[in-house]
Structure 1
Amino acid sequence: MSHNFLQLNADKTEVIVFGKKEDRRRITTALETKGLKAKDTVKNLGVFIDSELTFTVTNSHMKAITKSSFYHLKNVAKLRGLMSKQDLEKLVHAFISSRVDYCNGLFTGLPKKTIKQLQLIQNAAARVLTRTKRSDHITPVLRSLHWLPVSYRINFKGVLPSCFH
């Protein structure tokens, strides 16, 4: 890289090692002798990936989606009285649905417990749009908006030909 006058920005460069735990430890030790520190979790294209390639409930990626989505949903809810329902729905799709759907192919095969967090985000967005109470059943609301539940969205996206992704 140096012969092309390029260099790594140490503040922005992250290293992650995948593989068996004992292999990761050995490689991490070798990297440290070169001055590189391997991390257990890194962010790439907005997706948090851990060294074991698992997406558990405590996963950084799920936490980031949840935090960001509820932040934007709170702001969209403040605009409810100022905009038409169609415009609010556009905002919800732009700021909330896009986050729930982004790279959701990675969630294929995850336990329902993990995907439930994403479903709660979608349910909250539907309630904001339709002014539905938390005590009301959400399935008819999702149907009225023509929204598939999150688990179905993940599976639907997984069966589409690659040219549609």
Structure 2
Amino acid sequence: MEALPSKQLHPSGEPLPCSLTASQPAASADLANLHHDISSHQIGSKEGHKNVDNSTAALEWAIFKFHEDCIAAADLALKNLGVTLDPCLSYSQHISTLARTCRFFLSNIRRIRPFLTNYATQLLVQALVLSRLDYCNSLLAGLPASATRPLQLIQNSAARLVFSLPRFAHATPLLRSLHWLPITARIQFKTLVLAYRCLDQTAPSYLQTLISPYTPTRPLRSACTRRLALPPLRSPASRARSFSTLAPQWWNDLPTDVRTAQSLTTFRRLLKTHLFKQHL
């Protein structure tokens, strides 16, 4: 009989992540079936003893492989539609990769900056850098400012490059001059646009089911202000960053004239003006 590897199953001694517990019932059922097969063998003969030994070894090997796969999956990061997903959904690896890619494009633009006007540089930066910062940025909603800070530093560097200013120049006046919303406001802008489309029934159906308009139990003036129903106060902590939780909170904090905009174009214009005043 081949000896089992001597590799330690869980070197850190920490519990497995929550994202792995969903696969444990199926594996436990397989192990239970294998244990039933062991108990059904005859043990009255040498051949029976041999079958039991082989089945026990198979059970031990199955348990070892199960834990090994769980440990490997804990550090696994998957990429879907260009977004790197980690088990904890912290998007730290995605942000690092995105920042590295944007720095590469900024470095290339900086090489040809002496031959470009400010307007041409702005177009290049918006096409190659800001478009990547805005791609799927609503997934970063609810992250702390420290997590999105690398992306904000990229945007600050891009603004300095447009005006050919040194590295330590103050970036806030530059963003105001370029009419660029900071990263946090851009994430909020994208989320609120999706919320408007859900109310307008132009968003995908799976998003429309996540939020619902607020309907008072009796006639109130707030019934015509186009508010959203807030999630339950005792909602799980895992939903604190979800679209169904953040979108109603951010939406209800908007001025009434922004929430009641008659078209998406008007809503985007009013929303950008509101966020511009709020963040810059």
Q: TM exceeds 0.5? A: yes
Letter in 2 for 1:78: R
Residues 77-111 of structure 1: CA distance to partner in whole angstroms, max 9, x if unpaired? 11111222222111101111011111100111100
The structure in which a higher percent of residues are strand is 1
Query: Is 1:53–2:89 an aligned residue pair?
Result: yes
5 Å-filtered alignment, 1:137-156, equals 137-156=170-189
1:122 and 2:155 aligned: yes
Give the TM-score, by structure 1 length.
0.75
Larger radius of gyration: 2
Cα distance in structure 2, aligned partners of 1:115 and 1:22 = 27
Task: Determine what percentage of the aligned residue pairs are the same residue.
Answer: 36
Letter paired with 1:43: K
Give secondary structure in 2 for the equivalent of 1:81. helix
Unaligned runs of 5+ in 1: 1-18
Match of 2:101 in 1: 68
CA distance in 2 between counterparts of 1:27 and 1:98 reads 42
Separation in structure 2 between the aligned mates of residue 73 and residue 152 of structure 1, nearest angstrom: 22
Matched, 1:104 2:137: yes
Aligned partner of residue 142 in structure 2, secondary structure: coil
Structure 2, unmatched stretches of 5+, are 1-16, 31-64, 203-263, 265-280
**Higher mean C-alpha displacement, 44-53 vs 131-140:** 131-140
Q: Which has the higher contact order (CA 8 A, sep 6+)?
A: 1
Deviations 1:31-86 (A, max 9, x none): x78xx98562100110000122223xxx2101110110000000011111122222
* Counterparts in 2 of 1:131 and 1:28: CA distance versus 1, 3 Å: farther
- Aligned residue for 1:3? none
What secondary structure, in the 3-state scheme, does the structure 2 residue paired with 1:43 have? strand
Query: Normalising by structure 2, what TM-score?
Result: 0.45
Matched with 1:14 is none
Residue deviations 1:98-151 (CA, integer Å, cap 9, x gap): 111111001111000011111000000001111122332111111111111111
Name the amino acid aligned to 2:82. G
Choose from 165, 172, 177 the match for 1:132. Answer: 165
Distance 1:28 1:115, change over 3 A: farther
Letter in 2 for 1:153: R
SS of the residue corresponding to residue 88 of structure 2 reads: coil
